A and B are shown apart, each in its own frame.
Chain A
Amino acid sequence: MVRENELIRTDISAYLKRYQDKELLRFVAVGSVDDGKSTLIGRLLHDTGEVYEDQLQAVKRATKMEGEEIDFSLFTDGLKAEREQGITIDVAYRYFATEKRKFIIADTPGHVQYTRNMVTGASTSDVALILIDARLGVLQQSRRHGYIASLLGIPHLAVCVNKMDLVGYDRQVFERIRDELRAFTEGLQFRSVTFFPVSALKGDNIVASSTKTPWYEGPSVLEFLETVPVVEEDELAHFRFPVQYVLRPNLDYRGFAGQIVSGVVAKGDEVVVLPSGLKSRVRAIDTYDGELDEAFAPQSVTLRLDDEIDCSRGDMIVKADDLPHVGRSFDAHLVWMTTEDLDPQKSYLLKHTTQIVHVQIDEVLWKKDMDTLEETPTETLSLNDIGRLRLSSHRPLFYDGYDRNRGTGAFILIDSLTNNTVAAGMIIDERRDRQSLDDAVREARAGSGLTPKTQVSPRERQRRLGQKGAVVWLVGLPGSGRWALAYALERRLFDLGRTATVIDPTGETLDSMISAAKAVADAGLVCICAFPTYAVEDRAKLRERIGAERVVEVYVNTDEKLCRERRPDADFSGFVPPRHPELTLTLEHTPLDKAVEWILEDLERRGQFS
């Protein structure tokens, strides 16, 4: 950076002109504390002159190591809580520039439990830089990092075999690690995989080539970062323009503002608007700095069209002979980002380009075992799980497979109750043949992709109400006091802040009572019913239809003589006492409120209330 300093001193204008022209490269650095990642980043910042004098002084003061070496990792430590714990637990962004490029580093921790953070940092990166401790060789963690970087569509992988100083700069150690990891990455999707023998602590092969590794002829890490291609050719194909904002400052002006996701558009190009399928031509590409003849990704521009056609936020402007796929049902890789598990019965919000739609989970196909990287069957996904799912949306999405187009293949899932971002998604599109415009428009106009069903899952109801749906069915002879007990229980539950109701038997049949009880329990309430069920089959039927795990059968075993005294005209024939009720009460010995408490205790024990 010495040459640059000279230029700054002597000709600042020339320097600034050169600086303005620098390209931007975003890369993600992955590794745990022990791998020396913070030291490597600190070294990059320090050696490129990005560390300010006062920061350097502060770090020198805080360096805990004895001796004269600076603890480079201290340049990158973050929040206070983390500093106290001595670990990095979130993605941190850092910036530095060299003569050739400006860099944004997404600095992510590499522990197994922090898949979430690596995925976040990787989502915007062109290069993934991972670290391997030369003494330890290729660990499962290294494969995991490689897999995630590939899944997130990062084109270039840079593997730093670190701590070479501790293995005597041994060429064989380096080559063994290189060959072992290369065997693994060959099965992945990278355009390039490059290996570097480095010592972050000593600065070998980080900024400049080291004399300690004469056998290594490749570039230093920084030289690589300065020259690796930023713009890939295929980013210039496939014009995709999601409409972000419609500008209508007056009646004569209607512009569609957005950022070009991929491809190039020129004035006069024929375009088509999705989902309407209407065609028009680009009349003008407007910017604050004047009209452009053509524009390309990732520019933010405003398009005006020749025709007054309907187009709003969430629509996509593309070229008629190069369409994305239009559809409501697709497979995707999902990375689960939150402590609450995926609820496959629940409806989530999905944000894709500038659209937000409702989606339902049709099928959870598998999840990756992060130790073996094998696909294993699963019903759900937990924090840091990566899986493949089939999803349907209520409105069509205009998408490409994520491996072909990161911008139109990526989405996030949002929990509609908590508003949290719960997952990162990457659409899988293995189709070879493209839809015709007619097919795309037909697909866009078709009815909703969702089979009509409830969008509220039992778990969501449970969270709202603080309880699970259940049916308390009181069984006993006429005159046993079942109904009195039922209403007392309802009152008591209500007073405790629970949601419960007794269903009225007047004029009903057993079948209709079972249906009613089931509906009430499905809604998440505690349903209390004392409709007569004398026969064993009747009780078996209600258990089967409502679901045995939701039924609490309470046998109200009042002395038959007492019952007959109370209800002399009732029909006592055919009553078979239940063989295995959840609870048996004898009301002639037990006061009503005591009986109610017993039922409550039973409900509590079953984990009915939260």
Chain B
Amino acid sequence: MTSATKDALRYRLSHLRALEAESIHIIREAAAEFDNPVMLYSIGKDSSVMLRLAEKAFYPGPLPFPLLHVDTTWKFKEMIQFRDWVAKDRGHRLLVHTNPEGKAQGVNPFDFGSNKYTTIMKTVALKQALDKYQFDCAFGGARRDEEKSRAKERIYSFRDRFHQWDPKNQRPELWNLYNGKITKGENVRVFPLSNWTELDVWLYVLVEKIPVVPLYFAKERPVVRREGTWIMVDDERMRLEPGEKPVLKSVRFRTLGCYPLSGAVESEADTVEKVIQEMLLNRFSERQGRLIDFDEEGSMEVKKREGYF
């Protein structure tokens, strides 16, 4: 073995560490170039990984930006508990925003339908919060492997002053040279996990021992069967259809959102390793569990144009 080959082995980064280094670079770059960044914290596993990467980027200092959670008021109870615990435990500044008009009108997924509800309580609420605090950069935990329409998403995704995303008006992205130049009022969504896959995220949760919401692990929970998936009865606001009766099932969630819209899968996987095992053995792509995608083919793309991600 030549000394050069030995060096090549010694100075070799595993793909997970290479992704980590890239994400830290992205987070530092955006924090350095934007005036007022914020990290969108959705409480899910991707947000948990993104948050850990941000902590690594600025260690031993604190995060130079706050976390923002858009609370639809229909999140799982355990998510909200987890969110408050994380912010307190890690000493991060957490902003919580709920669409006040939506709240006043009692907008919910039952009477308004998942589409309208999501627009009002998520998309509009997010725009309100970004405008209220004048954020010019928002970190999001989206990945390119999540959905076909995201395969072409940039790491820096440019939004005009109305938060609109125009697929035809995105900047070319070369090397690791990100263009953060914007005019006042415009903003950029930055996706540090763009090149991670679902498996990478879980693996990182495992090796870094990152706490995630217990809903990701199988446990007996009260659920009802709807549209081919299990919906959890998380509180008394859940409206049961005539004849529906909650049953106790060992289930877990692959993605977390608003409980009436998040489908659970039957599972016995109660550790990270078992979750990964199940995921690898049953290859069903991730968004299957989210009811909002079923409306229309290419619907994520429509949502993104409107400002949701």
Contact = CB atoms under 8 A, between A and B. Distances in A.
A8 B19 contact: no
A228 interface: no
Given A8-B281, A23-B14, A231-B11, A13 B273 contact: yes
A421 B288 CA distance: 36
B292 interface: no
B64 to A, nearest CB: 9
A562 interface: no
A16 B21 contact: no
B225 interface: no
Contact of A247 (B24, B25, B58): B58
Interface in A335-353: 337, 349, 351-352
Given A81-B167, A351-B177, A406-B175, A91 B281 contact: no
Q: Determine chain B's interface SS by DSSP, over half rule.
A: helix
24 contacts: A5-B280, A8-B280, A9-B281, A16-B203, A22-B15, A53-B284, A77-B148, A79-B298, A93-B144, A93-B152, A93-B194, A102-B200, A120-B172, A124-B174, A231-B8, A245-B31, A287-B56, A288-B55, A298-B18, A412-B174, A412-B177, A419-B179, A421-B171, A421-B174
A43 B297 CA distance: 23
A446 interface: no
Given A93-B151, A288-B59, 14 more contacts: A20-B14, A23-B13, A23-B14, A78-B148, A78-B149, A90-B170, A94-B151, A124-B175, A233-B4, A245-B32, A296-B13, A302-B59, A351-B177, A354-B29
B206 A16 contact: yes
Give the interface centre of B7, B12, B59 by most chain A CB atoms within 10 Å: B59
Contacts of A399: none
Interface string B246-285: 0000000000000000000000000001101100111111
A493 B19 CA distance: 59
Contacts of B61: 247-249, 253
A333 to B, nearest CB: 13
A207 interface: no
Contacts of A349: 181
Give the interface centre of A5, A16, A120 by most chain B CB atoms within 10 Å: A16
Nearest to A352: B177
A80 B14 contact: no
Contacts of B8: 229, 231, 233, 236
Nearest to B14: A21
How many residues of A sit at the interface, in one of the four size bands?
Answer: 35 or more
Nearest to B280: A8
A12 B14 contact: no
Contacts of A104: 195
Interface in A79-105: 79-81, 83, 90-95, 97, 101-102, 104
Contact of B19 (A24, A92, A248): A24
Closest 7 CB pairs of A and B: A249-B61, A24-B15, A300-B24, A288-B56, A419-B181, A92-B151, A52-B285
Interface in A91-127: 91-95, 97, 101-102, 104, 107, 116-117, 119-120, 123-124
A276 interface: no
A420 B171 contact: yes
Given A80-B301, A233-B7, A259-B21, A54 B284 contact: yes
B21 A116 contact: no
A49 interface: yes
Given A259-B24, A419-B179, A419-B181, A120 B14 contact: no
Nearest to B18: A24
Interface in A55-88: 55, 76-81, 83
A300 B20 contact: yes
A328 B15 CA distance: 37
Contacts of A55: 285
B173 interface: yes
Contact of A120 (B25, B55, B173): B173
A302 B60 CA distance: 10
Nearest to A116: B172
B115 interface: no
Contact of B179 (A93, A249, A299, A351): A351
Contacts of A79: 149, 152, 167, 298, 301
A414 interface: yes
B6 to A, nearest CB: 11
Nearest to B153: A93
B79 to A, nearest CB: 25
A231 B298 CA distance: 38
Interface in B41-63: 55-62
A116 B171 CA distance: 11
Interface string A252-274: 01010111000010000000000
Contacts of A80: 149, 297-298, 301
Contacts of A248: 61
Given A93-B144, A245-B28, A298 B11 contact: no
Contacts of B181: 349, 414, 416, 419
A286 B4 CA distance: 26
A27 B60 CA distance: 35
A19 B203 contact: yes
B16 interface: yes
A8 B298 CA distance: 33
A101 B13 CA distance: 12
A244 interface: yes
A257 B28 contact: yes
Contacts of A90: 152, 167, 170
Given A53-B282, A249-B62, A300 B179 contact: no
B238 interface: no
B22 interface: yes
